Every structure is written in C-alpha cells, then in structure tokens.
Structure 1
Amino acid sequence: MLFLVVALLVLGVVLGAVAHVPVPVSVAAGLAIALWLAVFAARERLSGHRSGRPGHHRGGLR
C-alpha cells in the first residue's frame, strides 16, 4: 500500500512538472525516454541469448 502511495505521489510530481514546460519540450523528453527504453530492451533481449548466468531460464518460473 505504501508503494502505491509513493508511486502516485511521484507520478503527480512528474505530471505537474510536465504541465509547466512547453509542449515541444515534453514531446522531446518523451521521445528521448522512449528511445532509451527501446535501446535498453534490445540490449537485454540480445544479452539474454548469450547469458551464462546460473538460474537464468527462458520461459518463466519452474
């Protein structure tokens, strides 16, 4: 429950900050974050195929 309260508080602060900057700045920041997440996801997906970590299984819980 505490995690939910903190998450909503952080979301409110972030949305409040976005409301005070011009739209092009918000769009540019959103695109930068989306690109960063896409690169991160691609690197994680590619590194998962070569991973030799113990206990790292494809297909979820066993």
Structure 2
Amino acid sequence: MLFLVAALLLLGIVVGTAAHLPVPVTIIAAVAIGCWLLVFTIRERRHHTTHTEGASR
C-alpha cells in the first residue's frame, strides 16, 4: 500500500512538472526516457537469455 502511495505521489510530481515545461522540452524528455527504457529492455533480455542457455547445459 505504501508503495502505491509513493508511486502516485511521484507520478503527480512528474506530471505536474511536465505541465509547466514547454511542449518541445517535454517531448525531448519523453523520447530520452523511452530510449533509455528500450536499451534497458534489450540488455535485460540478453542477460536472461545468456543465463538461460548456460543453465541448460
């Protein structure tokens, strides 16, 4: 429950901040975060694939 409250508080802060930024800055920040998440997803998939192959031997 505490995690949910903290997540909603953080979301409110981020959305509130984005509302006060110019649109181009918000779009650039969103693209940067999206790229970071894409890189993180690719690295995690490679990491789990490598460990899965090694465990089956």
Q: TM-score, normalised by structure 1?
A: 0.75
Two-structure CA RMSD over aligned residues (Å): 1.6
CA distance in 1, matches of 2:9, 2:48: 34
Runs (5+) with no aligned partner, structure 2: none
CA distance in 2, matches of 1:5, 1:45: 30
Runs (5+) with no aligned partner, structure 1: 57-62
Matched residue, 2:11: 11
Matched residue, 1:22: 22
Q: TM-score, normalised by structure 2?
A: 0.80
Superposition deviation, residue 7 in structure 1: 1.2
Where in structure 1 do 4 or more consecutive aligned residues deviate above 3 Å?
none
Alignment: residue pair count: 53
Superposition deviation, residue 4 in structure 1: 1.4
CA distance in 2, matches of 1:47, 1:5: 32
**What is the aligned-residue identity percentage?**
53
Higher helix share goes to which structure?
A: 2
